[in-house]
Amino acid sequence: MTRDSRSKEPRKKGGLGRGLEALFEDEPQVQEAEEVQELDLGDIRPNPYQPRKRFDDKSLKELSDSIKENGVFQPIIVRESVNGYEIIAGERRFRASKLAKKMTIPAIIRKFNESQMMEVAVLENLQREDLTPLEEAQAYEMLQKNLGLTQEEVSKRMGKSRPYIANYLRLLTLPSKTKRLLQHGELSMGQARTLLSLKDKEKIDALAKRVVKEGMPVRKVEAVVNELNAKKPRSKKTAKKSAFIRASESQLANKFGSSVNISETQKGKGHLSIDFASTEELNRILDLLGVDLDG
């Protein structure tokens, strides 16, 4: 029997802020014994703030088989919406029930606002350890943006330290290919965090691919990153100037009595710069060019 089909409470991670129970207790209408109703699955929609993007097919099939045999022991929690109901907690049971070809599911209806919906969606998944590191990072970002919270406020709500929240949010700055490796579990949280310290950000994707291919432990990733960061970047070779450009620079320098630089950006186009050290010198160059600013 799978965890969600049992009546006992799921295992919790320590110190998750107020926790799910505290959020539920905030509602004055919630009593010790609440009415469990059988709701049509067709009237129920997932929590719009659900941070989990991927549901394990094998685990879902196991739960579905258990529901076929024993039913749903633990009701899902929903709130009324304009068209039916939205899930507050229990999306796996909802999905597994649909997979089991059930028509209804036991549910408890509660009045939750948008803020509570978001918090419960994150807390429920964190307590069940169902989120990937990237999904957890996106969940914290969602709380920040949608509720206008600071990192410090998110950390208090979730019962985590501010550096913990900050480290997860940093994962969102990874390039897209590396994010995909992290999301699919090919890259660990520790490996991803180490890659973030690579100075040349353009090399992160390539190194992440190498880390996965070679199965590098975090210590090895750290060593490779430190080695790459210690290397001095190769200085870009300046394009060799043609004899015509060099001669033109020399003649103009003689004419203006100042250093002149001509650089070609593409065929037929380029930049001409004349150095001056003072306003007087600039006025002298303008006179030589026949530029009358007073005229």
Angle at the Cα of 16 (from 12 to 17), degrees rounded to 5?
A: 145
Tell me how crowded residue 26 is: count the other CB atoms within 10 A of its CB.
Answer: 12
Alpha-carbon gap, residue 113 to 121, rounded angstroms:
12
Single-letter amino acid code for the residue at 49: Y
Alpha-carbon gap, residue 295 to 67, rounded angstroms:
91
Q: Which residues are catalytic?
A: 91
Alpha-carbon gap, residue 106 to 71, rounded angstroms:
9
Alpha-carbon gap, residue 16 to 189, rounded angstroms:
20
Q: Are 106 and 35 in contact (CB under 8 A)?
A: no
Alpha-carbon gap, residue 206 to 268, rounded angstroms:
37
Single-letter amino acid code for the residue at 223: A
Alpha-carbon gap, residue 63 to 95, rounded angstroms:
9
Backbone dihedral angles phi then psi of residue 180, each to the nearest 5 degrees: -65, -40
